[in-house]
Structures are given as C-alpha cells and as structure tokens.
Amino acid sequence: EIVLTQFPGTLSLSPGEGAALSCRASQTVSSNSLAWYQQKPGQAPRLLIYGASSRATGIPDRFSGSGSGTDFTLTISRLEPEDSAVYYCQQYGSSPPYTFGQGTKLEIK
C-alpha cells in the first residue's frame, strides 16, 4: 500500500499570494496517477486535479498540479478567500487500495 504524506500540515497566507502544497509518496506512483481534492467544512471533497497535472472540469486555471515519481505539488496562484479549505492528494497508480494523504489545511487570512 502506498502511503502519501502531505506537508505542510497547515498553511496560512494572504489573499493574492501563491501557495505550494506538497504530497510525497512512499513509493513511485505509476503513470503519475495522482489526484488532488479540495474539501470545505460540511462538504464532500471536490476533484481539482487528476493525472498529476490535468484540471478537472470547471476548475480555474489558478489551480495547477505538477510532479512525478514520488513528489507532487499543488500550486494555487492569486489566492482568494474561498480557497480556504483542506486539500488532499490521492494515488490510484497501483492496485487497490487507493490511498489518500492526511491533508493540508489552507487558511486565507
């Protein structure tokens, strides 16, 4: 089972700034099969990025994904107050079980 570690645990930034959220896998994620999700309180996770760098339908281009192998990054540019949320990575490159990181909480102050 691939273990995903996300860092930092919490990130506090101001509107207009940029954010870089990291996700590190315990072994190579094949075919860059990594997704990112955004979750706000009381809501289900929302798909942002799949295939490490492809934006899901309706996701603004302020959100971008990069990385390969074991190290992946979600970059959010020009932060807006509504970007406050917990962000999770998920790998699906190996046979099930699919696994998630523990999340990064992004606060926009």
Using CB under 8 A as the criterion, which residues of the chain lie in contact with another protein when the complex forms? 31, 33, 35, 37, 44-47, 50-51, 56, 88, 90, 92, 95-103
- The residues near 51 (Cβ < 8 Å, ≥ 6 apart) are 31, 32, 33, 34, 35
- CB nearer to another protein: pick between 65 and 73: 65
In the complex, the smallest distance separating the C-beta of residue 34 from another protein, rounded to whole angstroms, is: 9
In the complex, the smallest distance separating the C-beta of residue 47 from another protein, rounded to whole angstroms, is: 5
- CB nearer to another protein: pick between 73 and 90: 90
In the complex, the smallest distance separating the C-beta of residue 99 from another protein, rounded to whole angstroms, is: 7
- DSSP 3-state of 32: helix
- The residues near 42 (Cβ < 8 Å, ≥ 6 apart) are none
Q: Are strands 19-25 and 46-50 parallel, antiparallel or unpaired?
A: unpaired
In the complex, the smallest distance separating the C-beta of residue 101 from another protein, rounded to whole angstroms, is: 8
- CB nearer to another protein: pick between 67 and 101: 101
